[in-house]
């Protein structure tokens, strides 16, 4: 319904471009939050090392790869990667990159507050807004 | 004493700063390689999706993917001891690295608005770096206490 109204209000190609951008941002936010939740549950990866040297890293790698939250998050990130490649082929780079980046930063902060219960205080909100505006300015 | 304890707990170790630096550098260089590779592959549309697999034969795309795997590993390590909203501004610095690389290495012109963008992102990192890296949830301590008491029995 909303998409039908939107389709009559904006030109088809603009609608298609922004749909792509929103899908890519939503996939990134879901993926990053799931992965952040997985890593938070696992705790400091250094503590999972079984022995000194390279072999000791097998412990953390195994713990991460067998975590279901991580696997679902990684699936979202993979979808995000291919959706991004597709989007870059139809949306101009100078629109796609800053739009996706700033939407992802703002969405991540909101999702981190509501789903991960992170303490997103005024300091962090200001930082997120600065980053979002900064990314847009950089792309100009 | 409480205050000292609080800051000790949230101060990052040098290795943790190194991980944040890796997050920043691998993402910026990896993205640059990917975008260079994709311009060589050309536009991909819904009717030619197999072209995306063809892109995997491009050396720029392959090296970009290798670097992005390195990014992923260091990013997840950072998330294991810091909040998502703490690590995010650090990853935003990779935009600044790309801009500075293009200015001082590729000798591209940086407009005033780009310098303003760089300044804003650097300020954002400064804000967040000044605060705690991790939100402490009372419930987690509770779980740990319960686990400890279980182990003691």
Contacts of A44 in chain B (CB under 8 A): 80-81
Q: Mind listing the pLDDT tens digit of every residue in chain B (153 residues)?
A: 444 444 445 677 888 889 998 998 898 888 778 877 877 777 766 676 777 777 788 898 899 999 988 988 898 889 988 888 888 888 888 888 888 877 776 677 888 998 999 999 999 888 887 778 888 765 554 444 444 444 433
CA distance B125 to A93: 25
Interchain CB distance below 8 Å, A118 and B135: yes
pLDDT digit string, tens, across residues B31-62:
778 877 877 777 766 676 777 777 788 898 89
Nearest neighbour of A85 by CB, restricted to B38, B85, B99: B38
Residues of chain A below pLDDT 50: none
Residue (of B140, B9, B27, B7) closest to B87 by Cα position:
B27
pLDDT value of residue B150: 41
pLDDT value of residue A38: 92
What pTM does this model have? 0.75
CB pairs under 8 A between A and B: 134
B92-104 b/e with 16+ CB inside 10 Å = b? bbbbbbbbeeeee
Residue of A nearest to B95 (CA): A135
pLDDT value of residue B38: 77
**What is the rounded (10 degree) CA torsion for B54, B55, B56, B62?**
160
Residue of A nearest to B39 (CA): A89
Q: What is the ipTM for the molecules in this complex?
A: 0.80
CA distances from B31 to B19, B66, B71 (A): 18, 11, 10
Residue of A nearest to B31 (CA): A97
pLDDT value of residue B8: 47
B52 interfacial to chain A (CB closer than 8 Å): yes
B23 interfacial to chain A (CB closer than 8 Å): no
Interchain CB distance below 8 Å, B79 and A44: no
pLDDT value of residue A7: 61
Separation in Å, CA of A81 to nearest CA in chain B: 10
pLDDT value of residue B148: 45
CA distances from B78 to B17, B86, B90, B151 (A): 9, 9, 10, 29
Interchain CB distance below 8 Å, A108 and B88: yes
């Amino acid at each position: 319904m909303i998409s039908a109204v939107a389709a009559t209000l904006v030109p088809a190609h603009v609608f298609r471009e922004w749909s792509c951008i929103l899908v890519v941002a939503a996939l990134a936010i879901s993926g990053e939050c799931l992965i952040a939740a997985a890593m938070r549950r696992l705790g400091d990866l250094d503590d999972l090392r079984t022995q000194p040297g390279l072999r000791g890293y097998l412990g953390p790698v195994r713990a991460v790869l067998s975590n279901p939250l991580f696997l679902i998050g990684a699936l979202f990130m993979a979808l995000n990667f291919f959706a991004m490649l597709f989007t870059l082929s139809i949306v101009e780079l100078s629109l796609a990159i800053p739009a996706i980046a700033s939407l992802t930063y703002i969405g991540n902060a909101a999702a981190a507050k509501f789903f991960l219960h992170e303490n997103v205080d005024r300091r962090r909100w200001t930082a997120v807004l600065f980053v979002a505006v900064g990314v847009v300015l950089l792309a100009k | 004493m409480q205050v000292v304890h609080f800051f000790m707990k949230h101060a990052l170790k040098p290795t943790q700063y190194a991980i944040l630096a890796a997050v920043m550098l691998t993402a910026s260089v990896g993205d640059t390689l990917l975008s260079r590779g994709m311009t060589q592959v050309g536009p991909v549309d819904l009717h030619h999706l197999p072209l995306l697999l063809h892109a995997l034969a491009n050396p720029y795309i392959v090296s970009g993917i290798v670097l992005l795997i390195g990014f992923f590993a260091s990013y997840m390590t950072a998330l294991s001891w810091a909040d998502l909203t703490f690590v995010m501004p650090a990853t935003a610095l990779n935009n600044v690295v790309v801009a500075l690389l293009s200015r001082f290495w590729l000798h591209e012109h940086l407009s005033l608005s780009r310098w303003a963008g760089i300044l804003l992102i650097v300020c954002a990192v400064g804000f967040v770096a000044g605060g705690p890296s991790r939100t402490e949830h009372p419930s987690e301590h509770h779980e740990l206490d319960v686990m400890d008491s279980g182990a003691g029995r």
